[in-house]
Every structure is written in structure tokens, then in C-alpha cells.
Amino acid sequence: MSKGKRIAVTGMSINTPLGDTLPGFLDGLLAGRSALSNWKTIDVSRCYSKVGADLSEYDVAKKVASFEGKIPADVWKRLRKLVSKAPWSTKLSMLLAVDGWLDAGLFQVEGIDTTRVASIVAGHNINFNYQYQNRLQYAEEPDYMDSLLALTGLDTDHAGSVSEVLNVRGPIYTVGSACASANTALRLAIDELRYHGNDYAMVVGAVLDFSPVELHAMALMGAITFQSFNDTPQKASRPFDTKREGFVPAHGGGVMVLEDLEQAKKRGAKIYAEILAVETNSDANHLPSPSEEGQSRLMARLLKECELAPEQIDYINAHATSTPLGDLTETRSIKRVFGKHAYKLKVNATKSMLGHTCWAAPAVESIAAILQMNGGMLHPSINIENIDPEIDLDVCNGKSVEHAVRYCMKNSFGFGGINAVSIMRTPSAEEANLGALGAELRRLGRKS
């Protein structure tokens, strides 16, 4: 086990097309509902790929209004002011941060030293579409572009805006590791608590604001689906299926609030999970070519770091992007590390319903995993009509599965040969202290 403080997840928030509440999100996952559609407000008329999980019509004003009376009046006033002027994705980062802080019960805690609170935003080039639209405006009439682009176009504006809303005065920064970003941010958040004297740390998995340029470039590279499912978008994300042809870009974000486990117990906080450790490595290859050697080496290293035998892992929330090589490589890596136990594990693919939320995916999918762990039920992997014969693991094919989880592994593998994997522990019912929320999560598990 890693030395130092034990780290608890005491607050979470989510925003995907399946829902912006934790119970609603879990309900959608357990029901096997797809979040995918054709893009609505992104102009993909010249793009090969027309499919995504779209939050562009999300009612920001309604969400802001929902916080009135639930958070301190000065925070709500700042939130309204900042959201009114911010780029779209930055608005969502602030809403997620406030929601996560509220869920952690930290607005009710007196005497928090805000100089000992860290906030880390996961992602890079987050505001793609905002920058793209301003470049179009510059080409048409430069003086009509957003005069604040030089500030609000930067990723650090997400960190600064979250900091201002919540009055966070400790370390704030962004970290970019492609689709492993939020797991890398989680690793850094643990470091902030263990080694840098901070009391709380927040990981903000920001919503990636795709522009048509990135979507078309990824299609040209062959990374995303575009050949077969433009007219049936809900079937487009199909990890483990023989007809998978690339991942589905998706809007989605999530926040995790972390603190020392003993501190959380003393203040009577909800404890969703304990993060045992996060480890990272690289494949020494900038191309999107997953490495069985790199992935398996990292999983084995993490198990050793956590002093766990492979047989103690009950469930893997897979990276499982729906790419032909990626899904096979991850399966081979799991078999290499877990041996015979690989066939006793439960594995599922959250991206089969959500698509790939890219930089935020490790946070979004860790939240999904934690909710399943607390509900005692794993969601299905959908759209598996003909499973790849080499993928012979229990991937929760087409149906939710009752399964008690003590330890969960979360895999994340990003472009640039960047790998990041975490292990989480489910707390006991007494330790979790989830109250009515815990009862609701278990009810949703039984319902499915």
C-alpha cells in the first residue's frame, strides 16, 4: 500500500447526455441507454463523421438556477456572473465544480483554509470550438471576435474560473495527457494531499468542446467511426464487437473531490471510494498505437504498489474505446497480467453508452465505476452483436450484472503512448455513510 494518507472520494458530480445527477446517470447506465446521436449544433456538413454524444443544448441557466438556496449567496452570485461571460465548456467546468463541492458537503464545513485546497483541471486544447468560431469571425470581421479570446481561450481559464467561484487559493493548474488526462490529474491530486499539505483536492474532468476540424481530422486518421453508423448513431460505439470501427467523440465531464480518509470520517462525510493508487507510464511512441507491453507492465506495477494480488481485483472498468486494435490490446494486456483470474473478472465498457469523453473519460468513467460499486450492480456493455472471438472475457455483454466489488481497476490509455491506471476500493456500508443516496444507488441496482 502507498505510504502516507489514505485518500477518500467524498464528492462527485457528472454531466453527460445521460444525465447531470449521480442517480440519473447510474440509472441510464444500468438500463443500457445510449447517449449517442448525430451532432446538433456543431456544423459537421463537411465532416465524414456525424456521430457524437452532444451536450450543446444543455440548459446552463436552469442548472445555475437550481443552486439558488443550496449554496452560499456570495458563491451563487459569483457563479451567475462568471457563467454569463464564459465560453461554453468553461461554464460547464464551473457548474461541475460547484456541484461536486456541494455533494462533498464542503459548503457546510466552517473554517476551511482555502489556501490548502487544490484544483486540477484535466485536459488540454479544451475550448477547440470556441477558438474555431473566433477564427471564423476573425476571417469575416476581426473587430467582432471575442475581445477576451486571449484569456478565455486558454485552458488555464478553466482552472482560474473554478478557483474564483469556489474561492480556492491553493494550487490550481491544468494537466494534459490526452485520454489519460483525468487519471493523471487524479494522481496529482493524491500528491497534493499526501505531500504538499493540502486538505482537499478537486479533479475537474472538463468537457472537450470539439470543433469540426478535430472531428474531421480524427476521421481522416481512422480513429473515429464514420463508415457505417452515421444513420444509426446509437449503435456506433461498440467495444468488443467485430464491427467496431473507431471511437465516438463525446461531450461529458465529471468532478471528484478528494480528502484524507480519516479527516472525512471525523467530519461525517460521505465516502464513495478509497483511491489506493494511480500509476502512469508511456510507450515511447507518439502515434496512437496501443502497446500490450506498456499496458500490462503498468497494471502489474500498480498491483505491486497497492500490495494486491491479481486475484483480489473484482472488476475492471475498461478503456474499451471501440477501436479494432485498442480493444484487442487491452484484452491481451488483462490476460497477460491476470492469467486465469482474467476469466473470473467482470469487465465492462462505459464508452459503449457514453462514447469517448476524451480528456475527461477517466473521471467520468471512474464516477460510473464508483456508483456501480456502491450500487452492487455493473452496467452492460451494449452493441455487442458479434463479440470478437479473441475477447473471451466476461464483458457484461448486453445486460447488467449483480456483482459485489471490493477492488476495481480503471484503465485509461491516451494518444501519445500515455497510460494511466488507478485502483479503487469500495468502503463498507458503515464507512461509506452514504445515507439516502446509498439507498437510492442500491435501489437502482436492484431495479435493473
Q: Which residues are catalytic?
A: 179, 319, 356
Q: What CA–CA distance (Å, rounded) separates 237 from 350?
A: 10
Q: What CA–CA distance (Å, rounded) separates 240 from 331?
A: 9
446 to each of 249, 403, 439, how far by Cα in Å?
31, 11, 11
State the angle between helix axes of 361-375 and 435-447 in degrees (0 to 180), rounded to the nearest 10.
80
Largest distance between two CA atoms of the chain: 64
In terms of Cα–Cα distance, which of 343, 344, 346, 356 is closest to 413? 356
- Is the sign of the CA dihedral 300, 306, 311, 313 positive or negative? negative
Query: How far does CA 196 lie from the centroid of its chain?
Result: 25
Backbone angles phi, psi at 340, to 5 degrees: -65, -30
In terms of Cα–Cα distance, which of 288, 319, 134 is closest to 211? 134
In terms of Cα–Cα distance, which of 420, 5, 334, 394 is closest to 199? 5
> Which amino acid belongs to residue 43?
D
Cell numbers standing for residue 115: 489556501
Task: Provide the pairing of β-strand 273-282 with 7-15.
Answer: antiparallel
Q: What CA–CA distance (Å, rounded) separates 163 from 168?
A: 5
Q: Terminal CA-to-CA distance of the chain, rounded, Å?
A: 35
HSE value, Cβ hemisphere, 13 Å, CA-based, for 146? 16
In terms of Cα–Cα distance, which of 416, 350, 420 is closest to 125? 416
Q: What CA–CA distance (Å, rounded) separates 176 from 352?
A: 24
Backbone angles phi, psi at 334, to 5 degrees: -60, -45
- State which H helix or E strand residue 422 sits in: strand 418-425
Cell numbers standing for residue 410: 480503471
245's CB contacts (< 8 A; 6+ apart) are: 225, 226, 227, 228, 229, 322, 324
